[in-house]
Amino acid sequence: MQRLAVFYREVTAEMKKVTWPDLPQVRQLSIGVIVLSLFIGAIIALLDVILQQVLVRWIPSFFGG
């Protein structure tokens, strides 16, 4: 039980040292993450369409399908 109390005090002391971002920083970084996620999703969707065309249409046509 004593170790738990020491652990709690140490965690509290470390959390006081943390510099938390302010609201504009959180907003800016959140928008950046969303934009980057949408961009990567668009790239994956484009690759999916391209590979589907290659694998489903072009390759079978080479073998008489």
Annotate 2-55 with DSSP letters as a single string. HHHHHHHHHHHHHHHH-----HHHHHHHHHHHHHHHHHHHHHHHHHHHHHHIII
**Greatest Cα pair distance in the chain:** 77
pLDDT band at 65 (very low <50, low <70, confident <90, very high): low
pLDDT band at 60 (very low <50, low <70, confident <90, very high): confident
Q: What is the mean pLDDT of the chain?
A: 92
Q: What is the pTM of this model?
A: 0.64
pLDDT band at 54 (very low <50, low <70, confident <90, very high): confident
Mean pLDDT, residues 49-57? 87
